[in-house]
Amino acid sequence: MKVSKKIVLLGHFGVGKSSLIRRFVENTFSEDYKVTIGVHIFKKNITIPEQGTDVSLVIWDLEGNDDITNTRLSYLLGTHAFIYVYDVTRPATYESLESEINFLKEKQKNTSITVVGNKEDLVTKAYLKQNSGNFGSLTDLYVSAKTGDKVDLLFSNLAEALIK
Amino acid sequence: MLQTYTIPYKETTNQILLISNKGIIVDAQSILFKNYIGKAIQSLHPFFETLINLLTLKNKTYNFECINLEIDNKHYTLDAVLHTNNSKEPSALVIQDLTKQYITYQKAAQKRNVAEIKAQLLDYNNVILQEKEAFKNSFIANFSHEIKMPVNTINGFVSLLENTNLEQSQRYNLNVIKNTNDKLKTMINDIIDISKIETGRFSILPIRYNLLEELDTITTIYSQKCKEKGLILNYNIDPECPKYIIADKYRLAQIVNNLIGNAIKFTPTGSIELSAKCVTKNNNFATLIFCVKDTGIGINKKQIDAIFNGFHQVNNNLTNNGAGLGLAITKKLVHALDGKIDLKSEINKGSEFTVTLDFKIAPNQKEDKVITKTSITTAKNDIKILLAEPLRGNQEKLLKIISKLKNCDVVIVENGDQVIEELYKSTFNLLILNLKLPTMDGIDTTRYIRHSDYKNINKIPIVIISEKPSKEEENYCKERRVNSYIGKPFDKAEVLRKLKYIIQKKQA
């Protein structure tokens, strides 16, 4: 059985959305920051062994925006899951985390949202613990596009949850 | 400029595709890419997968802006409009290629985002740095307090042991403990000093004082140390140097002490010379050059810059001569006083440190009046009081009252500068200040004292005497960390009660 699921990545600019996708799809990483305008769409097929299901993940990499309400709503049509990405080293990217998540919940009531803190490699575990008051309660996973840490886990968990 | 924007818009290219409800391209132009008639639209690019579920919806229009696609190995940034019809007729997908226009936008966005990310990171790094600095400061403050206590305890017990009957080997061992502990104490004080300078928690507190007398005191102390090591200390002061200057007496002494101490440390034989030369002078200011020259081991040219950095020792020898912070502190102190420090050195011939500093010349170059010291009883007295009172009548009245306290030594001075000088010379249990003191009034003197780095100075209880007392003035004084306030005319019982209370509190 093969199913197709649309995943949309959102968050401020420069948080590493494109890097996470590139790490997942191509297993590559570049230190150079190249701004995304509009949307880039990628596809990767994965197999969920336990269910014996092939999942085609169509991943939408949206242009970073410091105000989620400016997102072009047509991009969200038919979305099965959101991944909201912030940068653990830049407070501006997680200061409005709660309101941004609430906006998404309002717009797409039944769509799951996974909140991800990227650039985990740049900080210590103690730092994450100290700042847990700022983003801890909403964060599902800390990842690093640079090292690849927990990137596959993020997408495979999501795919598994989507086909349940 | 207009043309830059006009040309790409002129070149905009559209392509229309008709798509069946099941996503099959039933008709299409081939302006941008091949028409792919008969193919499933989603096979061209994953973007089109999103459209499949929309194709069955009747008479709707969906706009998709700024979509990045790659078809036939060519990259497009395009806007797409999907018009769905009824179930019998295919939907129309109008694709408008705006790649060139979006490149202009992309470049602007790149520039803006990079600048904003940099600014955000800079702000955040500053916050992190400030937090680290605050942590370092509190750590050093706590650490120094905690470590000073056991070091002082060791000193105390070493002194007790020194006065007991010890065998020669025991006395030798005790001396080793004593010297090591002294070095540890110096090291701790150096670390505290350097941390204070670096974190800006160090203050410059100028007073009027006798520079020549101060230099004389320093050379007297170091003459003895030189003699013990078989060195000669020469002392050469330019007669043009002003006698009374307004400067931070403690910091200047610290600079000169560090340089002479360093010279003694690194001079095995020969001599050390301290000289002070006045290079410019007018009615208000003088520029002096202090020079400490030795015939010691000298410093390699490559090491000259490095020795002013913390934790550096010539030959990297950290074992016998402290943490190597002395010269780093000296350089930072000289810079904090807006001066400069230079070093000339030659291996095995010696070193010459010169410090150039500007000083304010005190307007009054006359000798201070002799300070009066009064002992209330002849027995060994426990309480030392410093009374700063310019009026003879007040001095007499207060002395009569203080005599009731018993076992007191009273030192009388007449201005604020003398108060500071006396506090540096010896330890007092209490300071009584007239609010209207000459040179530095009672409040300024209090401010100076409370900002001092020395605990036996900055913690001294202060009583202010006011000629015209008022509640507002009393509150003003107490807000400035004065402990007690006494107004004239003196109420003998009240003055005694207040003084006794403060002394007992201090002793407790």
Average pLDDT estimate for B211-232: 90
Mapping DSSP to helix (H, G, I), strand (E, B) and coil, where does residue A20 land? helix
The reply to whether residue B66 touches residue A39, judged by beta carbons under 8 angstroms, is yes
Domain B372-507: assigned CATH number: 3.40.50.2300
A90 touches chain B (CB under 8 A): yes
Range with the poorest average pLDDT among A95-99, B9-13, B336-340: B9-13
Range with the poorest average pLDDT among A83-87, B176-180, B204-208, B281-285: B204-208
Distance from CA of A96 to the nearest CA of B (A): 15
Compare CB distances from B67 to A33, A38, A42 and report the shortest one's residue. A38
A37 touches chain B (CB under 8 A): yes
CB atoms within 10 A of CB A148: 16
- Among residues B445, B449, B470, B471, the alpha carbon closest in space to that of B458 is found at B449
pLDDT > 90 fraction of chain A, expressed in percent and rounded: 77
The reply to whether residue A37 touches residue B106, judged by beta carbons under 8 angstroms, is yes
- Among residues B447, B458, B465, B375, the alpha carbon closest in space to that of B411 is found at B375
Q: B170: which strand partners? A: none
On the 0-12 / 13-18 / 19+ scale of CB atoms within 10 A, A45 is exposed
Q: What is the pLDDT of residues B333-382, one digit of tens each?
A: 999 899 999 999 999 999 999 999 999 998 878 776 656 666 555 445 57
In a mutational test of the A interface, the residue from B53, B55, B117 whose CB has the highest number of chain A CBs within 10 Å is: B117
Q: What is the pLDDT of residues B287-316, one digit of tens each?
A: 999 999 999 999 888 788 778 876 655 555
Q: What is the pLDDT of residues B73-132, one digit of tens each?
A: 999 999 999 999 877 789 999 999 999 899 999 999 999 999 999 998 888 888 888 878
| Beta strands across the sheet bearing B91-97 | A141-142, A112-118, A81-87, A2-10, A53-62, A39-48, B61-71, B74-83, B91-97, B13-19, B25-28
In CATH, what number is assigned to the domain containing residue A130?
3.40.50.300
The reply to whether residue B65 touches residue A4, judged by beta carbons under 8 angstroms, is no
Q: Spell out which residues of chain B touch residue A39, defining contact as CB-CB under 8 Å.
A: 66-68
**What is the pLDDT at residue B11?**
55
The reply to whether residue A89 touches residue B124, judged by beta carbons under 8 angstroms, is yes
**What is the pLDDT at residue B319?**
42
Integer Cα distance of A92 and A121 in angstroms: 19
A6 touches chain B (CB under 8 A): yes
**What is the pLDDT at residue B457?**
85
The reply to whether residue B54 touches residue A13, judged by beta carbons under 8 angstroms, is no
A3 touches chain B (CB under 8 A): no
Which CATH architecture best describes the domain B2-97?
Answer: 2-Layer Sandwich (3.30)
Distance of CA B428 to the CA centre of its chain: 29
The two tokens of residue B135 are 């942590």
Looking at per-residue pLDDT, the higher value among B372 and B171 belongs to B171
* pLDDT, chain A, mean: 93
| Contact indicator for B62, B82 with CB cutoff of 8 Å | yes
Single pTM value for the model: 0.54
Q: Is it the case that residue B19 has pLDDT exceeding 80?
A: yes
**What is the pLDDT at residue B9?**
53
Q: Is it the case that residue B193 has pLDDT exceeding 50?
A: yes
**What is the pLDDT at residue B379?**
47
Range of the domain at A30: 2-163
Count of domains observed in chain A: 1
Which CATH architecture best describes the domain B105-198?
Answer: Orthogonal Bundle (1.10)
Residue B401: pLDDT band by 50, 70, 90 thresholds?
confident
- DSSP for B423-451, please give it: HHHS--SEEEEETT-SSS-HHHHHHHHHT
Angle (CA) B340-B343-B345 rounded to 5° is: 175
> Considering only alpha carbons, which residue of chain A is nearest residue B107?
A35
Average pLDDT estimate for B3-22: 73
Distance from CA of A102 to the nearest CA of B (A): 24
Integer Cα distance of A163 and B246 in angstroms: 82
Q: Is it the case that residue A47 has pLDDT exceeding 50?
A: yes
DSSP B24: B
Q: Is it the case that residue B323 has pLDDT exceeding 70?
A: no
Compare CB distances from A14 to B47, B106, B113 and report the shortest one's residue. B113
**What is the pLDDT at residue A54?**
92
Cα-trace Rg, chain A: 15
What is the fold of B207-361? Heat Shock Protein 90 (3.30.565)
Q: Spell out which residues of chain A touch residue B64, defining contact as CB-CB under 8 Å.
A: 72, 74-75
Which residue numbers of B have CB closer than 8 Å to A's CBs? Answer: 45-47, 49-50, 53-54, 62-69, 77, 102, 105-106, 109-110, 113-114, 116-117, 120-121, 124
Integer Cα distance of B504 and B284 in angstroms: 45
Q: Is it the case that residue A130 has pLDDT exceeding 70?
A: yes
Q: Is it the case that residue A1 has pLDDT exceeding 80?
A: no
| Contact indicator for A84, A104 with CB cutoff of 8 Å | yes
Q: Spell out which residues of chain A touch residue B96, defining contact as CB-CB under 8 Å.
A: none
The two tokens of residue B457 are 């100075």
B207-361 matches B2-97 in CATH topology? no
Q: What is the pLDDT of residues B75-85, one digit of tens each?
A: 999 999 999 98
Compare CB distances from A58 to B49, B66, B121 and report the shortest one's residue. B49
Q: What is the pLDDT of residues B407-451, one digit of tens each?
A: 788 888 888 888 888 887 788 889 999 998 887 889 989 988 888
**What is the pLDDT at residue B4?**
55
A119 touches chain B (CB under 8 A): no
Compare CB distances from A41 to B47, B63, B109 and report the shortest one's residue. B47
> Considering only alpha carbons, which residue of chain B is nearest residue A38?
B66
**What is the pLDDT at residue B136?**
76
> Considering only alpha carbons, which residue of chain B is nearest residue A123?
B128
* pLDDT, chain B, mean: 85
Domain boundaries, chain B: 2-97, 105-198, 207-361, 372-507
Integer Cα distance of B55 and A54 in angstroms: 25
Residue B68: pLDDT band by 50, 70, 90 thresholds?
very high
Chain pair A-B, CB pairs under 8 angstroms: 74
**What is the pLDDT at residue B294?**
96
**What is the pLDDT at residue B378?**
44
Please report, to the nearest 10 degrees, the dihedral formed by the alpha carbons of residues A8, A9, A11, A17 taken in order.
Answer: -160
A136 touches chain B (CB under 8 A): no
* Helix or strand holding residue B226 (H, E): helix B211-229
**What is the pLDDT at residue B201?**
67
**What is the pLDDT at residue B83?**
93
Cα–Cα distances in Å, from B6 out to B3, B101, B105, B110?
A: 5, 10, 14, 22
Average pLDDT estimate for B147-176: 86
**What is the pLDDT at residue B320?**
46
